Amino acid sequence: VSNAGVGMAGPLECQSLAAMQSLMDTNFFGLVRLVKEVLPDMKRRRGGHIVVISSIMGLQGIVFNDIYSASKFAVEGFCESLVVQALRFNVAISLVEPGPVMTEFETKLYEEAERADYSRTDPETAEIFTNLYLRNSKDVFASLGQTPEDIAEHTLRVIEAAQPPFRHQTNAAYTPLAALKHADPSGALVTDAFYKLVFKYDAVLRLGLR
C-alpha cells in the first residue's frame, strides 16, 4: 500500500519550484521508487497487489490545487500505463481515490495557507484564494469530509476483493464530478460548471453544503 503524500494549495505565483519538486518527489517519484522495488518479485511469483492512495484530484483538477493535482494525475497515468503489463503477471493494481479526508494533513495545510504571504500574486487572485477558496474549502470538509477510518475500510475492501478494481472512489458525492468530465471530451462542460460554482454561485454552494 502506497500512502505517502504531501499537499500544496495556493496561487501558483506564490509557490517555489523547489517546493513543487519536493512535492512531486514524494507524491509521484516516491510511488515509482516503491513499485520498482516490489514489482519484480511480484512478477517472479506471478502474484501480488499494489494499492495506491490517489485522490479525486487525480481525475479532476481543482482550482488552487494545481501542483497537487498534477502529482495525482501523474500517479493515475503511471498506474494506468502499468496495469495492463502487471495483469500479464497476475499482479493487480488498485487506485483508491478519496475526496476530502479530515486529518491533521488537511488541517495543517489550510492553517499554513491562511498565514502565507500572497504578495507575489495580484490582489484579485489573493482575494479569491483567501476569501472564496479557503472559506468554501472549510465548508466542503465539514460537509463532505470522510474520516481516516472510513478510507481504511474502503482500502480494506479493495485489498480483500476477489477481483480488485483498478479504480475505487470512496465518496459517492464526487462521482458526478468524474462523470461530468467524461461526458464532454472537449472539457467545456466541466470548466463552465466549475467556473459558475466558484465565481457565480458560491453562496448557493456554501448554503447547500451547510
What would the mean pLDDT of 14-41 be, rounded to a whole number? 97
Q: Per-residue pLDDT tens for 43-61?
A: 999 999 999 999 999 999 9
This prediction's pTM: 0.89
More confidently predicted of 208 and 127 = 127
pLDDT digit string (tens) for 137-163? 877 777 788 899 999 999 999 999 999
Distance CA 108, CA 92 (A): 34
| SS3 sequence of the chain | CECCCCCCCCCHHHCCHHHHHHHHHHHCHHHHHHHHHHHHHHHHHCCEEEEEECCHHHCCCCCCCHHHHHHHHHHHHHHHHHHHHHHHCCEEEEEEECCCECCHHHHHHHHHHHHCCCCCCCHHHHHHHHHHHHHHHHHHHHHHCECHHHHHHHHHHHHHCCCCCCEEECCHHHHHHHHHHHHCCCCHHHHHHHHHHHHCCHHHHHHHHC
Residue 137 dihedral angles phi and psi, to the nearest 5°: -60, -40
Evaluate whether residue 4 is within a structural domain: no
Would 125 be classed as within a structural domain?
Answer: yes
User: Quick check: is 72 in a domain?
Assistant: yes
Quick one: pLDDT band at residue 126, thresholds 50, 70, 90?
Answer: very high
- Whether residue 108 lies inside any domain: the answer is yes
Stretch 98-123: mean pLDDT, rounded?
A: 83
Residue 5 lies in a domain: no
Is position 184 within any domain? yes
CATH number assigned to the domain comprising residue 39: 3.40.50.720
Q: Tell me, what's the pLDDT at 206?
A: 63
Mean pLDDT of 195-201: 83
Domain residues for the domain of 131 are 12-206
How much is the pLDDT for 142?
Answer: 75
CA distance 194 to 42: 42
Instruction: Let me know if residue 42 belongs to a domain.
Output: yes
Residue 68: active-site member: yes
Is residue 137 included in any domain, yes or no? Answer: yes
**List 68, 110, 174, 201, catalytic entry:** 68
Measured distance CA(67)–CA(65) in Å, rounded? 6
What total of structural domains would you count in the chain?
A: 1
